[in-house]
């Protein structure tokens, strides 16, 4: 396995803007090395028009892997990928594969 792609795992946080209003924003949870592979083009056929999106698998090994959830996203190669599924394996479940899709 070659964990040779740097990815940034992001989580939603709340912050206050200049007017004092609370706004939701993305912040860095952790930067890790990953093995990235295409999981094929995704197709959403739930509407009358099919929507195609880029889908990737991100395999990481980290002691914080159990804390990664589908509420997070991954920044990779100038794109954002929203995590739609996670499978955990390995000793102490510290290795995970996150299947994610881009929003464009």
* Segments making up each domain of the chain, as ranges: 5-102
Render pLDDT for 6-56 as a digit per residue (tens, 0 to 9).
999 999 999 898 999 999 999 999 999 999 998 865 555 555 555 557 889
Strands 95-102 and 79-89, how do they pair? Answer: antiparallel
The yes/no answer on whether domain 5-102 falls in CATH 2.40.10.270 is yes
Binning the chain into helix, strand and coil, the percentages to the nearest 5 are 5, 65, 30
Greater model confidence, 95 or 70: 70
pLDDT the model gives residue 43: 53
Whether the CB-CB separation of 92 and 79 falls below 8 Å is answered with no
Q: Which two tokens stand for residue 90?
A: 């390995």
Classify the C-alpha dihedral 65-66-70-71 as positive or negative.
negative
User: How many other CB atoms are found less than 10 A from the CB of residue 96?
Assistant: 21
Please give the backbone phi and psi of residue 68, each rounded to the nearest 5 degrees, phi first: -75, 135
The answer, as to whether pTM is greater than 0.85, is: no
3-state secondary structure of 28: strand
- Mean pLDDT rounded to a whole number for the chain: 84
């Amino acid at each position: 396995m070659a964990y040779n792609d740097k990815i940034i795992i992001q989580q939603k946080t709340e912050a206050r803007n200049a007017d004092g209003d609370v706004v939701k924003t993305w912040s860095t949870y952790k930067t890790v090395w990953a093995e990235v592979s295409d999981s094929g083009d995704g197709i959403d056929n739930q509407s009358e028009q099919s929507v195609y999106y880029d889908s990737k698998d991100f395999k990481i090994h980290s002691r914080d892997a159990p804390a990664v959830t589908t509420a997070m996203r991954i920044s990779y190669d100038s794109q954002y990928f929203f995590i739609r599924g996670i499978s955990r394996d390995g000793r102490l479940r510290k290795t995970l594969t996150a299947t994610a899709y881009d929003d464009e």
